[in-house]
Structure 1
Amino acid sequence: MSRSLAYVIGLLLILVGCLPPPNSVKINSTHLTMGNPSNAQANVSSPNNYLIIKPQYALSYNRSKGYANWVSWELSKSWLGSVDRQNDFRPDESLPQNWHKVTPNEYSNSGFDRGHLCPSADRTNSTANNSSTFLMTNMIPQAPELNREAWAYLEEFCRELVAQKHKLFITAGTYGTGGEGTKGATNKLNDKIEVPARIYKIIVVLPENATLNDINSDTPIIAVDFPNKNSVVQNTGWIRFVTTVADIERKTDNDFFANFPSSVQNALQNKRFDYRSTSLNVDTKCRVHNGNALYIGKSGGCYYFNSKGNKTYVDRELCDCQ
């Protein structure tokens, strides 16, 4: 071997040794600002933790279950507009060619809703962006009473925070097996799609003009962990299911906020949201009573909006949603 060739080979080995391992390569997506909690990879050798990054959100797909382990997205005023809900549920053709692609019909007559992880109403600034939320990789078998009540109330609360000049980073995910829909309990739909036992959401709330450098131990965090069971969640609010990120980590084996210093990460993981003492000044739907959506918030009281759009206060015990 010539001296010059040996020099080139030696130089290449040094350069290769300086490269970070594949799993540590930073993925450039605003939707993964808070991190990649399961270290998902865009590699077919990881079919149950398969990373998909779309312009509208990022997700870890689980081929065995037939839906995402988690979906992460940014929610700010720039994503919101007046586009109609598209309702164009369809398979996700971005999955590898030889993988089964779940179709909307596989949920038919199952007793479970095709529940969005990233909500349709969080992407209303363009038809294409709203349509993207109807891909089946963004759907889970969700108990109807959860999808249409407490889960929906939390989605609305997030958009109300944006209206109050906040920017949010959200991760919604699943774990466990076995839920309960309108036709009773089951583990699978059509022997193909696994039904999750629990559905969680983690929300980081920032001022709309904040940067990552503004995230600290005082940053508001909302972590909620719902049972996917009609009989348990019927006519309840999301406040009842508040937990900590650390608790969700223990149950999912994920690592949230990994992009931040350990001191900040630990503080955020162990915070428990309390609507009575939060700095956020937005009330939230608690439950429905006599056909009226009841609201609760840090200001106290329990109220609904009457036909004239005015607050009408009722017995505080009707908002016992915690």
Structure 2
Amino acid sequence: MRKSKKNKIIYYLLLVVVVFLFWTVEYYLLPSLSKDANEARATLPAWVLPRADASAVVTHNYYTLEYSELHEQARWVAYALTRSHLTSDDRRRPYFEEDPGVKTFSADWRNYRNSGYDRGHLCPAGDRRFSEAAYNETFYTSNISPMKSDFNAGVWNRLEIQVRNWARKYDSLYVITGGVLRRGLPAIGYEGVTVPRLFYKIVVRQNGKDLEAIAFLIPHGETSQPLETFRVSIDRLEEETGIDFFESVPDSLESKLEEGVKDTYWPF
């Protein structure tokens, strides 16, 4: 009898410990993880998003884009990049998938097969290693564009690394990027995915009450020239792309931002 009673006491003690552990995880650990994940999403302020066809805009958890059905890729991709996003977490590379948010269906990844072009990221996977969900989201085909390997692994990669360095320095940045899409450009695959001849990137930071930006327009090819070579004004990008950037920013600030971008200080 005594042995049986002792076993029951041990059993009840173990049960209390297990219940306590589950309660601790549920009320302390899981809410903390959920909070971190939500903060990492860093919702984009409205002024970051360019003027767009609302029906073609797709808002994901970790970036927003406007999809061009004509060119089978995004006209622009916009996302936030903070110091906390920059981790070296090892992630298993997933397969590319069609974007479920694109009503007209995004391009099939098979368009790129044997095309001679990389599936080049616009919002880099390397900027989204902080979360498996965020990382996987960058592999939607709406977030890729045909890129030559020496461009994708060369100057484009150098620019992505430089943007991360600025995020470490300034903490919070907003990035808008894409290929310059026009009629008459070459295309690949059975769906006719346009191959841009130029790619652009805008990086913006808040400096007190002011906004400071730097913009790049880079020919699609191999180059060893320094990144500073490709700095342009946002006005120039608007001419090239036909996109109205920062339309909701007050006119006086917008003019200063778009015309004077070449004079702002961004250390390389």
What TM-score results when the alignment is normalised by the length of structure 2? 0.76
Would you say 1:155 and 2:160 are equivalent positions?
yes
Counterpart CA distance in 1 for 2:255 and 2:60 is 29
Counterpart CA distance in 2 for 1:160 and 1:75 is 11
Q: Which of the pair is proportionally richer in helix?
A: 2
Name the counterpart of 1:234. 223
Would you say 1:253 and 2:204 are equivalent positions?
no
> Where do 5+ consecutive residues of structure 1 fail to align?
1-28, 44-49, 180-185, 208-213, 284-322
Which digits, 9 at most, give the CA deviation of each residue in 1:213-237, with x for residues without a partner? x342xx4311001122x2xx33333
The structure, 1 or 2, with the larger RCO (C-alpha pairs under 8 Å, 6+ apart) is 2
> Where do 5+ consecutive residues of structure 2 fail to align?
1-41
How far does residue 255 in structure 1 lie from its aligned partner after superposition?
1.6
Query: Which among 163, 175, 179 is matched to residue 180 of structure 2?
Result: 175
Would you say 1:113 and 2:118 are equivalent positions?
yes
1:258-297 pair list within 5 angstroms: 258-273=247-262, 278=265, 280-281=266-267, 283=268
Name the counterpart of 2:203. 203
Asked if the contact 1:32/1:58 (under 8 Å) is kept, the reply is no
Query: Which among 138, 143, 146 is matched to residue 133 of structure 1?
Result: 138
Q: Secondary structure in 2 aligned to 1:70?
A: strand
User: Once the two structures are aligned, what percentage of the paired residues are identical?
Assistant: 28
What TM-score results when the alignment is normalised by the length of structure 1? 0.64
Asked if the contact 1:65/1:194 (under 8 Å) is kept, the reply is yes
Which digits, 9 at most, give the CA deviation of each residue in 1:42-91, with x for residues without a partner? x3xxxxxx000011000000112110000000100232323324422221
Residues paired across the two proteins, number: 225
Would you say 1:31 and 2:37 are equivalent positions?
no
Would you say 1:51 and 2:57 are equivalent positions?
yes
Asked if the contact 1:177/1:187 (under 8 Å) is kept, the reply is no
Which digits, 9 at most, give the CA deviation of each residue in 1:168-213, with x for residues without a partner? 111002224499xxxxxx7010242111222100111236xxxxxx
Which digits, 9 at most, give the CA deviation of each residue in 1:93-121, with x for residues without a partner? 2222xx34422221112121111111111
**Residue identity opposite 2:248 in structure 1:** N
Larger-gyration structure (1/2): 2
Counterpart CA distance in 2 for 1:194 and 1:272 is 29
Asked if the contact 2:51/2:247 (under 8 Å) is kept, the reply is no
Query: Which among 71, 82, 94 is matched to residue 76 of structure 1?
Result: 82
